């Protein structure tokens, strides 16, 4: 009996050895780790995603979103389907309160010290003492893109800046002469805050009852004058290139500027900052709470790359927004900087009032309010 057992054991080991050798000879490898990304267009470009996949033997799955509201809805519904999500400074608290995100160990980011002090020390990301829940990659504002065919008509709404530059008042959005010739983007956080600024209620993020009512009245006037509402880069470009509207309150200023240049249309449009001031979003990455193991390691590596010198230069080239690591400034396209010229300077030198976005007094109430305004005028998105 003992001999039979020994013989059977030897036979079993031989089979295992043969299977192992066969696996090696056929090039069997460990399945690649996965990084699931949800972001706005421009934050997961093949220019760096493909080399990243090759370097770390991984697969990067990208889900693009068009608005802040859409992003939050998807992340809240299925946080386990995404590892890193690009959100702005005004929504970090909202994701934290929903239990979606985890603290980010910035000590594991080799390039974090290269992020400008303004962005590293701003309190929006520190939701627990000593813990960061958001790593910035770029910043931007909201402004106007205007078809130069109406350059004479907008003159009453312009104000002069030094060096021959001009700003454009929000009043143009509700001007009767521009009825059905304007468009704003269908994104609650942006339009409610900007209309509050236009109504003189600043900072716009914590409104009392009177301020909230003033915001509603201003935003309703804008919406009633609009031909449509845009829901991302593609619909903004369609509005501009088809000349569906003459004035657009854009959520993608530098990207739109670059795309118009690439299509040979750059000189047909002018960008204007709002005279009364604008919001400043700081876009960056959060890590979802379910993320761990290899995916967490990849998430940190991806974030670290995007705040490094090369990642910032590539980001500046592709999206053109303000960067957070000055070493990336070499990536800016000259023709885009000529149009959205304020991104070439320090954020401390911004030429109109700038309000860094933080979570509002009641984000869901604002979503409901914006939906009610749209419903009241029977309008929809482009």
65 and 214 share one domain = no
Rounded to 10 degrees, what is the CA torsion of 231, 331, 132, 281? -40
With H, G, I as helix, E, B as strand and everything else as coil, classify residue 86: strand
Q: What is the reported pTM?
A: 0.82
118 and 50 share one domain = yes
Structural domain includes residue 178: yes
256 and 240 share one domain = yes
232 and 369 share one domain = yes
Q: What is the pLDDT along the chain (382 residues), one digit of tens a residue?
A: 434 444 444 444 444 444 444 444 444 456 789 999 999 988 999 999 999 999 999 999 999 998 888 999 999 999 999 999 999 999 999 999 999 999 999 999 999 999 999 999 999 999 999 999 999 999 999 999 999 999 999 999 999 999 899 999 999 999 999 999 999 999 899 999 999 999 999 999 999 999 999 999 999 999 999 999 998 899 999 999 999 999 999 989 999 999 999 999 999 999 999 999 999 999 999 999 999 999 999 999 999 999 999 999 999 999 999 999 999 999 999 999 999 999 988 898 999 999 999 989 999 999 999 999 999 997 654 4
Alpha-carbon gap, residue 347 to 282, rounded angstroms:
11
88 and 157 share one domain = no
34-38-41 Cα angle (round to 5): 120
236 and 105 share one domain = no
Structural domain includes residue 16: no
Question: Minimal CA–CA distance to 277: which of 344, 366, 351?
Answer: 351
| Number of folded domains that form the chain | 2
Residue pair 126/132 in contact by the 8 Å Cβ criterion: yes
291 and 182 share one domain = no
Structural domain includes residue 172: yes
> Which residues are within 8 A (CB) of 298 and not within 5 positions of it... i.e. 6 or more apart?
33, 34, 35, 56, 58, 83
Structural domain includes residue 21: no
Residue pair 266/336 in contact by the 8 Å Cβ criterion: no
209 and 220 share one domain = yes
Residue pair 166/367 in contact by the 8 Å Cβ criterion: no
Structural domain includes residue 13: no
Alpha-carbon gap, residue 382 to 378, rounded angstroms:
13
Whole-angstrom distance between the N-terminal and C-terminal Cα of the chain?
Answer: 81
Domain that holds residue 205: 141-280+358-377
Residue 348: per-residue pLDDT = 87
CATH number assigned to the domain comprising residue 204 = 3.40.190.10
Question: Minimal CA–CA distance to 79: which of 106, 62, 102?
Answer: 102
Exposure string for 187-206, b = 16+ CB within 10 A, e = fewer: bbbbbbbbbbbbbebbbbbe
Alpha-carbon gap, residue 198 to 211, rounded angstroms:
11
182 and 122 share one domain = no
311 and 298 share one domain = yes
Residue pair 306/285 in contact by the 8 Å Cβ criterion: yes
275 and 188 share one domain = yes
215 and 323 share one domain = no
């Amino acid at each position: 009996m003992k001999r039979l057992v020994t013989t059977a054991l030897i036979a079993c080991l031989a089979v295992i050895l043969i299977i192992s050798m066969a696996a090696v000879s056929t090039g069997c490898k460990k399945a690649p780790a996965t990084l699931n990304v949800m972001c706005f267009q421009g934050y997961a470009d093949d220019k760096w995603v493909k080399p990243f996949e090759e370097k770390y033997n991984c697969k990067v799955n990208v889900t693009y979103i068009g608005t802040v509201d859409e992003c939050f809805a998807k992340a809240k519904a299925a946080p386990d389907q995404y590892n890193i999500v690009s959100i702005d400074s005004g929504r970090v608290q909202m994701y934290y309160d929903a239990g979606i995100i985890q603290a980010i160990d910035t000590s594991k980011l080799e390039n974090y010290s290269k992020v400008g002090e303004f962005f590293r020390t701003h309190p929006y990301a520190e939701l627990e003492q000593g813990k960061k829940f958001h790593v910035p990659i770029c910043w931007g504002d909201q402004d106007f893109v205007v078809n130069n065919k109406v350059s004479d008509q907008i003159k009453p709404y312009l104000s002069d800046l030094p060096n021959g530059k001009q700003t454009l008042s929000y009043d143009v959005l509700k001007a009767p002469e521009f009825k059905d010739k304007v468009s704003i983007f269908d994104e609650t956080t942006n339009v409610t805050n900007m209309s509050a600024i236009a109504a003189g209620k600043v900072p716009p993020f914590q409104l009392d009852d009177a301020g909230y009512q003033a915001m509603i009245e201003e935003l309703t006037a804008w919406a009633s004058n609009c031909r449509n509402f845009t829901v991302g880069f593609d619909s903004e470009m369609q509005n501009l290139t088809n000349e569906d509207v003459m004035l657009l309150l854009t959520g993608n200023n530098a990207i739109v500027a670059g795309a118009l240049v690439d299509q040979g249309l750059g000189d047909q449009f002018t960008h204007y900052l709002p005279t009364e001031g604008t919001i400043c979003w700081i876009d960056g990455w959060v890590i979802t709470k379910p993320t761990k193991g290899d995916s967490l390691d990849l998430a940190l590596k991806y974030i670290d790359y995007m705040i490094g010198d090369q990642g910032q230069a590539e980001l500046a080239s592709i999206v053109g927004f303000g960067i957070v690591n000055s070493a990336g400034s070499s990536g800016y396209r000259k023709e885009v900087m000529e149009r959205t010229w304020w991104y070439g300077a320090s954020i401390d030198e911004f030429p109109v009032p700038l309000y860094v976005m933080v979570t509002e007094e009641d984000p869901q109430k604002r979503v409901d309010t914006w939906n009610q305004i749209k419903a009241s005028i029977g309008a929809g998105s482009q």
